[in-house]
Amino acid sequence: MVREANLSLVLRNIQNEAPLSRAKLAVITGLNKSTVSSLVEDLLSRRLVHEIGMNSVGTGRPATLLEINPMAGGIVGVELGVDFVAVALMNFIGKTLWSHKEKADPSVEQTKTINQTLELAGKAIAKCREMNLRLLGLGLAAPGTVDLQEGVLVFSPNLRWHNVPLRRIFSEHTGLKVFIENDANAAGVAEHLFGVMRQAKNFIFIYAGVGIGGGLFINGRLYRGHNGYAGEIGHISTMAESASGEPCLCGNPGCWEAYSNQRALIRWVEDGLKSGRPSLLPKLMSEQKEMSLSVDLIKQAADAGDQVAIDSFVQVGRSMGQGIAGMVNIFNPEKIVIGGTLSMAGEYLLPAVTDAVSQRAMNDVLKNTEVISSVFGHDASLFGAVAIVVEDIMWNPSSVERR
C-alpha cells in the first residue's frame, strides 16, 4: 500500500514538473534517494516514464532527467455527445493519434447509438494494434450523472437515457478496462493532466454547451461528492421561473443553465431578430443552408461585426458570470476554466463573464482569480475520456504491467 502510494507520488510529480532528476524528485517528495531510485526503476520497467538525457545546467553533477513516456501506450477515448459520437486514440500524454466524429440522432433507439459508438471504438483499437502500441484502457465521457462504482449512466437529461450499463457493454465488446465519467468532470481532468491547469490545485472547470456542467478540483483532485454526482452546477436553482417558460430538462424551473447555455444564446438572438434589429444571421443561414441557429453560426456573425450576435454573447456571458460569482464565493478557486462549445466564442463571452464575476463575487475571495478559456474547444470531453484513464494510472501505477 505504502509502496503503491509512493510510486504514484513519484509518477505524479514527474507528470507535473518534468523534466526532473532523481535527486530533485527526492527533494520534492521528501523520500530518500535510494527509495526514489527504486521507485523510478519500477516506473521505467512499466514504461510509464523514460529517461531523456542529461541535465548539464547549473553547478551540480550532471543528472539523468525523467519525463512521462508519451508512448507508454494507447488509450481509446469515447465521447457520447447529445447529437454526435466521437472516438479517438491518444497516447499517454493526450496527443491524438487517430480520431473520428460523426452525427448521431438523439431520437433513435439507444442501442443504435451505442452500436455506432462501439464500431468506432473497434476502429480505434485496430489502429492501436496496427501501431504496435499496447492498449491501456478505454474511457467514456457521457452527458449525465454517472454511477462510478457500477459504471452506469444513471440519467442523461439531454439524451433522455436512464440506467445504461455503459461500462459492462463496452468492456464486453472491447475486452478493455473501461472507465466512465460525466462529460464535464472528464473535461476538467483533461485540463488538469494535459491542459492549462497542470499545476493548479483548486480550480473550477465549466463545461458550457447544450447544458452547463462543472468539474470541481479541490487540492488537485476532482471532487466527486457523496454519491459521485458533485458538479451539477448548471442545475443550481437561481431563479423563481424558467428562462424560456418551460421547465429545465432536469424537471425543475429556474435552473441557472437555462440562462447561460447555448439555448439561452439562441433565444437572445431570436429575440433580437424578432424585434426587427438588422442582422447578418438570416443571410448567413440561407447561404449555408442551415435550418436553425447554432453557436458556430452566431460566432461567424459576431466575427463579421453583427451587433445582435455580439450582444447575445454578452447577455449570456453576464448570466454565466453571475452564477460563477457564487461558485467563487464558495470555493475560492485559483482559476475558472470555461470549455465546451460556448468557449469557442471566448473573445465575446469572457469579458462579460469576467465583468459580472468581479461585480458579484466578494472582493477578498476574488483576489487573483482568473477566468480563462480551455485549450480543447469542442473536444474537451473527448480529451477528458482519455484523461480519466491516464488519471487512474497516475494514482494506481502498478495496474500497468511490467514488460
User: Site residues (CB under 5 A) for Zn ion?
Assistant: 235, 248, 250, 255
Integer CA distances (angstroms), 195 to 11, 17, 92, 202, 377, in order: 18, 14, 14, 15, 11
Question: b/e map of 201-212 (b: 16 or more CB within 10 Å)?
Answer: ebbbbbbbbbbb
Nearer to Zn ion, 255 or 344 (CB): 255
Tell me the helix, strand and coil percentages in the chain, rounded to 5.
45, 20, 30
Rounded to a whole number of angstroms, the minimum distance from the CB of residue 256 to Zn ion is 8
Nearer to Zn ion, 239 or 250 (CB): 250
Nearer to Zn ion, 195 or 211 (CB): 211
Rounded to a whole number of angstroms, the minimum distance from the CB of residue 252 to Zn ion is 5
CA distance 377 to 40: 35
Nearer to Zn ion, 255 or 380 (CB): 255
Nearer to Zn ion, 178 or 255 (CB): 255
Q: Hey, is 206 helix, strand or coil?
A: strand
Rounded to a whole number of angstroms, the minimum distance from the CB of residue 251 to Zn ion is 7
Alpha helices in 175-256 (DSSP H): 183-193
| Residue 317: φ, ψ to 5° | -60, -40
Rounded to a whole number of angstroms, the minimum distance from the CB of residue 257 to Zn ion is 6
| Residue 141: φ, ψ to 5° | -105, 130
SS in 3 state form for 119-175? HHHHHHHHHHHHCCCCEEEEEEEECCEEECCCCEEEEECCCCEEEECHHHHHHHHHC
Nearer to Zn ion, 114 or 216 (CB): 216
Look up residue 79 and give its three cell numbers.
465521447
Rounded to a whole number of angstroms, the minimum distance from the CB of residue 215 to Zn ion is 18
CA distance 371 to 378: 18
Nearer to Zn ion, 6 or 262 (CB): 262
| Strand pairing report for 84-90 and 96-103 | antiparallel
CB atoms closer than 10 angstroms to residue 314: 18
Nearer to Zn ion, 160 or 402 (CB): 160
Nearer to Zn ion, 235 or 263 (CB): 235
| Strand pairing report for 370-373 and 74-80 | unpaired
Rounded to a whole number of angstroms, the minimum distance from the CB of residue 212 to Zn ion is 9
Q: Count of alpha carbons within 13 Å of 76, Cβ hemisphere only? A: 28
| Strand pairing report for 145-147 and 152-156 | antiparallel
CA distance 183 to 214: 9
First and final C-alpha spacing in the chain: 22
> Are 217 and 337 a contacting pair, CB within 8 Å?
no
Rounded to a whole number of angstroms, the minimum distance from the CB of residue 258 to Zn ion is 7
Rounded to a whole number of angstroms, the minimum distance from the CB of residue 336 to Zn ion is 21
Rounded to a whole number of angstroms, the minimum distance from the CB of residue 272 to Zn ion is 25
The secondary element (H helix, E strand) that includes residue 87 is strand 84-90
Rounded to a whole number of angstroms, the minimum distance from the CB of residue 250 to Zn ion is 3
Nearer to Zn ion, 152 or 248 (CB): 248
> Are 185 and 222 a contacting pair, CB within 8 Å?
yes
